[in-house]
Amino acid sequence: MTVKHAEKGTISTHQKVLAFLMWLVFLNQAQAAPPDVLFLSRDILDITLTAPFGEIDRARDKDTEYEGTLRYTDSNNAEVVLDVKLQVRGNYRLQASVCRYSQLWINIKTGQAEGTLFEHQDNLKLVAQCKDGDQYAEYIAKEEQAYRLFNSVSELSLVSRMLNATYIDSENPKEQRTHLAFFVEHQKRLAKRFDLENVELNSVAVTDLKPDQSSLTSLFMFLVGNTDYSLFTATEGEECCHNAKLLVDQNGSYFPIPYDFDASGFVDTNYAADPAPSLKISSNRQRLFRGYCIQQAEVASSIAKIEAARETMLAIVADTTFVKPATAKRSAEYLNRFFEIVGKESSREDQIVEACRG
């Protein structure tokens, strides 16, 4: 796919409108610090990563760190080169049978990052294009949109930055590729913005989840058609939770933060695993509410928050900078079906209120 983006220092009118709408969310939340400078702009960022990518994609070893560099051009049109260490990450997408290219952690030396666009970004999650081709580029664009959709309804959410990423194999410099990708804010930086603490437990009690944030997250997962998550537990030996992170306040209340949306019906990747048989749904496009009955008192306010963000959400998916018009139309139709469900009492009761767990 030929990536369409404005010349350095400029953005399209549509992108400016979206950036303004997203800033309204953050400005209305006085208790939160703004995101780090890397995530303040909606401009696509051109970066070049040089590392032994041939070995990285062959070994897929989470315990190995690889030396490399990250290059970008700053606002003064000067090239900045940062030393980095890379590690593969993930589980399902880490399988070579699923994705040709590995998902990555980018660890930047703190001293070098100071005063650059990457200040405070010592451990960045990079969401890489799974395989070559336009279809996989659109998956990246739609997954990044999912993060922004959640930004529009919850100030307590991970922010993202779209990338035009060139990967050069340091062992064979002729081997290089340029793909869409995006960075995701680290949960520790989000925690710092809200004066919360990161959680390293394997599981917590559902009753300890903050009811409003938990209810909103569960309803959002219903909106994007994601059933591949847990808000209170992870597999043995893993940090809680599954496709969600937990932050905790001084009162011991846990705030779930969703991430990784490639298995959702909204993104609709062709490589996503089929829904768990126990869920009794036929495809990832089929919505299933997995919220908890103990939080039912919060459902009405969660619906109201999402309905209030409807126009912002539809503006996000209408952007055809990185997706085809037909893809944007299909995304809007998928979101609008959610609003039809919550807008009708009978379907709202049947698919949400009476479908809760526990």
Query: Where do the structural domains in the chain lie, given as residue ranges?
Result: 13-186, 191-353
The 10s digit of each residue's pLDDT in 286-344 is: 999 999 999 999 999 999 999 999 999 999 999 999 999 999 999 999 999 999 999 99
The 10s digit of each residue's pLDDT in 169-187 is: 999 999 999 999 999 999 9
Q: Percent of the chain scored above 70 by pLDDT?
A: 91
For residue 278, give Cα distances in angstroms to 181, 288, 314: 33, 12, 32
Tokens of 118: 């990457």
Q: Residue 22: what pLDDT? A: 53
- Report whether 162 contacts 182 (CB < 8 A): yes
- Can you state the angle between helices 134-151 and 310-318, rounded to 10 degrees? 160
pLDDT over 70 at 14, yes or no: no
Helix (H, G, I), strand (E, B) or coil at 329: helix
Average pLDDT estimate for 41-67: 97
Average pLDDT estimate for 23-52: 82
For residue 317, give Cα distances in angstroms to 85, 197, 230: 34, 32, 26
- Where residue 30 falls among pLDDT bands split at 50, 70, 90? very low
**Least confident residue range of 8-12, 250-254, 267-271:** 8-12
- Where residue 194 falls among pLDDT bands split at 50, 70, 90? very high
pLDDT over 90 at 244, yes or no: yes
How many whole angstroms separate alpha carbon 119 and alpha carbon 38? 8
Largest CA distance in the chain: 61
pLDDT over 60 at 6, yes or no: no
How many whole angstroms separate alpha carbon 70 and alpha carbon 74? 12
Q: Residue 122: what pLDDT? A: 87
The 10s digit of each residue's pLDDT in 150-160 is: 999 999 999 99
- Where residue 251 falls among pLDDT bands split at 50, 70, 90? very high
The 10s digit of each residue's pLDDT in 254-269 is: 999 999 999 999 999 9
- Where residue 10 falls among pLDDT bands split at 50, 70, 90? very low
* Listed residue (307, 293, 299) closest to 336, CA to CA: 307
Tokens of 36: 């780090």
pLDDT over 60 at 44, yes or no: yes
